């Protein structure tokens, strides 16, 4: 409750400063609209169903790319943590791709795949897979040495050892990676839509609004992007991660 109250006060302060600048700052109202104009436009977009359609389209692409990232990132990270060969094979590639921003990949994928949704999905997948791989790798590698010894003394080996020891120990780190990967997927989805060919999407609508100098539309969509990000992270993943760490908190994350 204290965090929510602090966040609400922060948002209120931003709103007051914005209104003062819009009213008294002498800015062009077309480029610096008031909050009344922004939320009025948002209300009309909600009433028409446009905002819902654009948000669902972007979320669909994001979750598709995110699902691919999970299916690739978690197994690869676990393999790297338990195999020196896999670590030597994939480690340099992961370290190379990790610091690269999503938008830096856009020209490359546009040249390879054109202005298509395939390019957007691949950008989302690669960008969100990196933190998933790194945290899963770290979690599965830094298992407390006592656990394998205890498991060995009890005859727990092979698949049972993986399911009973490795996976539970790495699960807190995996959840941290999934949470970071989701945030990266959301950002990459918005950025990739600036260049992908599609009929709907928050990024696509923002890019169109820029051409018509519809600043109230752009700012309305930014509010929606921020709201969706908060819901995904704070209301869904943060409690899930906290329960996972409380239940299986045997390992650490990066």
pTM for the model: 0.87
Q: Give the closest residue to 189 by CA, choosing from 94, 119, 124, 113.
A: 124
78: in domain = yes
Expressed as residue numbers, the domain containing 213 is: 45-248
171: in domain = yes
Q: For residue 227, give the H/E element and its range.
A: helix 215-230
Q: What is the CATH number of the domain that holds 214?
A: 1.10.3720.10
Confidence category of residue 253, pLDDT binned at 50, 70, 90: very low
d(CA 18, CA 1): 26
Q: Percent of the chain, pLDDT > 70?
A: 96
191: in domain = yes
User: What does the pLDDT read at residue 254?
Assistant: 41
29: in domain = no
Q: Which of 99-108, 153-162, 200-209 has the lowest average pLDDT?
A: 153-162
Number of structural domains found in the chain: 1
Structure-block tokens of residue 249: 């908190």
Q: How far apart are the first and last CA of the chain?
A: 28
71: in domain = yes
């Amino acid at each position: 409750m204290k965090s929510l109250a602090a966040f609400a006060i922060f948002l209120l302060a931003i709103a007051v400063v914005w209104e003062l600048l819009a009213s008294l700052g002498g800015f062009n109202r077309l480029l610096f609209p008031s909050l009344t104009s922004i939320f009025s436009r948002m209300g009309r977009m909600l009433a028409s169903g446009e905002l819902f359609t654009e948000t669902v389209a972007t979320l669909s692409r994001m979750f598709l790319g995110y699902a691919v990232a999970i299916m690739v990132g978690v197994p690869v990270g676990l393999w790297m943590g338990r195999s020196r060969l896999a670590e030597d094979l994939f480690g340099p590639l992961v370290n190379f791709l990790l610091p690269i921003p999503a938008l830096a990949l856009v020209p490359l994928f546009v040249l390879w795949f054109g202005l298509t949704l395939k390019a957007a999905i691949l950008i989302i997948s690669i960008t969100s897979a990196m933190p998933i791989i790194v945290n899963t790798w770290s979690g599965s590698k830094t298992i407390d040495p006592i656990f394998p010894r205890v498991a060995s003394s009890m005859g727990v080996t092979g698949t049972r050892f993986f399911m009973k020891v490795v996976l539970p120990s790495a699960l807190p780190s995996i959840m941290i990676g999934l949470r970071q990967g989701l945030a990266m997927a959301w950002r990459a989805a918005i950025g990739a839509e600036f260049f992908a060919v599609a009929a709907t999407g928050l990024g696509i609508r923002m890019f169109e609004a820029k051409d018509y100098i519809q600043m109230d539309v752009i700012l309305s969509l930014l509010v929606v992007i921020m709201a969706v990000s908060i819901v995904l992270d704070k209301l869904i993943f943060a409690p899930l991660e906290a329960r996972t760490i409380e239940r299986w908190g045997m390992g650490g994350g990066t």
